[in-house]
Amino acid sequence: MTNLSGEQQQDHLLDKLGVFTLHGRDKLGRRILLILGKSFPARSVTPEALKGYLERRVYPELAEERFSVVYAHAGVRKSESCPGLSNLRSFLDAFPADIKAQLHTVYFLHPGLQDRLFLATFGRLLFPAGLYGKVKYVSRLEYLWEHVRRSEVDMPDFVYDFDEELEEFPSIDYGVESDHPRMRNVGPSVQHHYYNDNEDSSTIPCYSMRCIA
C-alpha cells in the first residue's frame, strides 16, 4: 500500500467527500463552484492543507472565466463539519487577486438567523475586501433556481430534505424552533409535553445544526 503524506491524505479526503465540486452554470452562463459545508471534515483538515488544496485543485479551474459559488449550509454541525473562523478565513484569504476578480456571487444557501447576525456583525472584518458585498443569502432552493440552472447542479439529497423540513417548520429560519434532530423527531406525546404542559415555553431545549465559528 502506498504511503501518503499528511497533505496528500487530506487532499484525498476532500476529493472523496466531494466538498468542492465544479459543475453546472448559472443562468448567465457563469460556472458554479458548489461547496458542501456538511461534508467538510473540519477535524481532519488543517487550514494550511485546505489552502493548498484550493490552490492546486480548484483555483486553476476558475482562473479563465467568471464564476459563482453556491455554499450549501444544510446539515452543518460544529462538532463534525463546521470549519470555524480559522478555516473559513483561510478559505477566503486564499483567493488570489485574479480569482477574486472572476467571482460574481456567493450564494449562501439555507442560512440560519445566527449565521445572518454573525455575518452582519463581523462579515466586513472576516471577508477579504470586495467579497462581503458578493454574498447573497438564499433561504430556499426555489430561490436559488431563479439564478442557477437546476438541471446542471447535482445537489445532494440531504439538501433537498433540509429544504423540505424548512417548509414544514418555517420558524426555524427565525431561531424560534430547534433544527436539532433530537427535537425534530420526538413523538407526539413529547411535543405535547413541551408545547402544552409547560407554562414557560422558554424551557424547551434548543439546538442548532448551523454555525460559523
Is the pTM higher than 0.95? The answer reads: no
In a domain, 36, yes or no: yes
Residue 150 has pLDDT above 90, yes or no: yes
Predicted local distance difference test score (pLDDT) of residue 213: 41
Axis crossing angle, helix 84-93 with helix 113-126, rounded to the nearest 10 = 50
Average pLDDT over residues 43-50: 86
Number of domains in the chain: 1
Residue 208: inside a domain:
no
Indicate the average pLDDT of the chain.
76
Which CATH number do you get for residue 95? 3.40.525.10
**Predicted local distance difference test score (pLDDT) of residue 168:** 83
Residue 1 lies in a domain: no
Range of the domain at 58: 6-199
DSSP the chain: -PPPPHHHHHHHHHHHHT-EEEEEEBTTS-EEEEEEGGG--TTT--HHHHHHHIIIIIHHHHTTS-EEEEEE-TT--TTTT--HHHHHHHHHHT--HHHHHHEEEEEEES--HHHHHHHHHHHHHHSPTTTGGGEEEE-SHHHHTTTB-GGG----HHHHHHHHHHHH-GGGGGTSS---HHHHT--HHHHHIIIII-S-GGGS----S----
Domain-located, residue 130: yes
Q: How confident is the model at residue 22 (pLDDT cuts 50, 70, 90)?
A: very high
User: What pLDDT does residue 87 have?
Assistant: 58
% of the chain residues with pLDDT over 90: 32
Gap between the Cα atoms of 137 and 142, Å rounded? 13
What's the confidence (pLDDT) of residue 65?
87
What average pLDDT does this structure show over 160-174?
Answer: 78
Q: Give pLDDT tens digits for 91-125.
A: 677 778 888 889 999 899 998 887 788 878 887 87
Is residue 205 included in any domain, yes or no?
Answer: no
Q: Is 209 a member of any domain?
A: no
pLDDT at 172: 55
Instruction: Give pLDDT, residue 153.
Output: 93
Domain assignment present for 115: yes
d(CA 92, CA 95): 6
pLDDT band at 1 (very low <50, low <70, confident <90, very high): very low
pLDDT for residue 203 is more than 80 = no
Residues 171-202 pLDDT 10s: 555 444 444 444 444 444 333 333 344 444 33
Residue 43 has pLDDT above 50, yes or no: yes
Copy the grid coordinates of residue 77: 454541525
More confident residue, 168 or 14: 14
Q: Is 20 domain-assigned?
A: yes
Could you tell me the pLDDT band of residue 4, with boundaries at 50, 70 and 90?
low
Q: How confident is the model at residue 130 (pLDDT cuts 50, 70, 90)?
A: confident
